[in-house]
């Protein structure tokens, strides 16, 4: 039985063990997926202990994604650009590889599960922290016409856009500088929902029939999803699909198989997982 786990702090509420158990059952993989409460002062020690005990792979979550990026020498291009690692693989020689499946998880949920067509669209990404950085490169690779990063602290949005300039049509601004722009898709990558708030966006910036996507999810509609509903968004989505899709991409990296995510998303939505 190959051992995997998710490491974070806190970790008790993580859905990852249930998601990966469902994937393993579905694809008949002999694997065990646990959870590790990481030590904020010794993430490297926790990883070393897991590998020494024969662990094959880890998912890394809050607050360790950036620390995992610092720790690993061998990184995928997308993890390097994101400056964050959410998936760690242990090769047979005990070498650690870091990758990041958050961005591709977001794109797959929107494009495959929900049918959003990215090419030619104008997209607004709200937030300029780790969550936003993690999805930027995959978003630019979809063929969007324009990607605007808007952040409460405008300087951080400008810096992030400058760093990504070579990757595609990206610009940065403050939340209060979205004067006359309208977007086909607005993605919330801020942590404001954790404080029960929605980033304050001018109502006009959602195009008619525009979509709204909150990278976070909760059992009840998030403040940002409520904002979208109140403004008549064509589709209002939370991050549950992204959570399952990023897990499926990690599973693919580890096991070489892509699980069917649809039944797992449905089971989670219905509270059965």
* Least distance (Å) between residue 191 CB and ligand ATR: 4
Q: Which residues contact 192 (CB under 8 A, 6 or more apart)?
A: 198, 199, 223, 224
Q: Is 156 a residue of the active site?
A: no
| Binder among 38, 103, 130, 210 for ligand ATR (CB under 6 A) | 130
**CA gap 250, 104 in Å, rounded:** 10
CB atoms within 10 A of CB 227: 22
Residue 111 touching ligand ATR (CB under 6 A): no
Q: Which listed range, 33-41, 100-108, 148-156, 262-270, lies at the site for ligand ATR (CB under 6 A)?
A: 148-156
Closest Cα partner for 42 from 21, 64, 74?
64
Shortest separation between residue 186's beta carbon and ligand ATR, angstroms = 13
Strand, helix or coil at 119?
Answer: coil
Give the nearer residue to ligand ATR in terms of CB position, either 98 or 127. Answer: 127
The DSSP code sequence of 183-219 is EEEEEE-SSGGGGT------GGGEEEEEEEEESS--S
What gap in Å lies between CA 56 and CA 58, rounded to an integer?
7
| CA gap 12, 222 in Å, rounded | 21
Instruction: Tell me: does residue 8 bind ligand ATR (CB under 6 A).
Output: no
The interface with ligand ATR within residues 206-265 (CB under 6 A) comprises none
- Is residue 127 close enough to count as binding ligand ATR by CB under 6 A? yes
What is the closest distance, in whole angstroms, from the C-beta atom of residue 8 to ligand ATR in the complex? 12
Query: Quick check: 70 binds ligand ATR (CB under 6 A)?
Result: no
Q: Using the rule CB under 6 A, which residue among 197, 202, 209, 258 binds ligand ATR?
A: 197
User: Shortest distance, CB of residue 2 to ligand ATR, whole angstroms?
Assistant: 30
Residues recognised as catalytic: 65
């Amino acid at each position: 039985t190959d051992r995997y786990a998710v490491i974070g702090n806190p970790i008790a509420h993580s859905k990852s063990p249930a998601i990966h158990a469902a994937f393993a059952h579905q694809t008949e993989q002999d694997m065990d997926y646990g959870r590790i409460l990481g030590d904020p002062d010794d993430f490297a020690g926790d990883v070393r202990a897991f590998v020494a005990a024969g662990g094959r792979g880890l998912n890394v979550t809050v607050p360790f994604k950036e620390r995992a990026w610092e720790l690993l020498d061998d990184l995928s291009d997308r993890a390097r650009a994101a400056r964050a690692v959410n998936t760690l693989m242990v090769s047979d020689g005990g070498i650690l590889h870091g990758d990041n499946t958050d961005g591709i998880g977001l794109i797959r949920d929107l494009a495959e599960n929900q049918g959003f067509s990215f090419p030619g669209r104008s997209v607004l990404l709200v937030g300029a922290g780790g969550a936003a950085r993690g999805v930027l490169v995959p978003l630019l690779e979809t063929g969007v016409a324009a990607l605007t990063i808007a952040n409460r602290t405008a300087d951080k949005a400008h810096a992030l856009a400058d760093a990504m300039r070579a990757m595609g049509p990206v610009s940065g601004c403050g939340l209060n500088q979205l004067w006359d722009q309208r977007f086909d898709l607005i993605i919330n990558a801020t942590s404001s929902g954790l404080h029960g708030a929605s980033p304050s966006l001018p109502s006009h910036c959602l195009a008619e029939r525009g979509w709204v996507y909150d990278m976070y999810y909760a059992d009840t509609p998030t403040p940002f999803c409520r904002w979208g509903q109140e403004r008549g968004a064509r589709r209002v989505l939370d991050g549950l699909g992204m959570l399952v899709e990023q897990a499926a991409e990690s599973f693919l990296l580890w096991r070489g198989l892509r699980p069917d995510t649809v039944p797992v998303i449905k089971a989670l939505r219905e509270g059965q997982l």
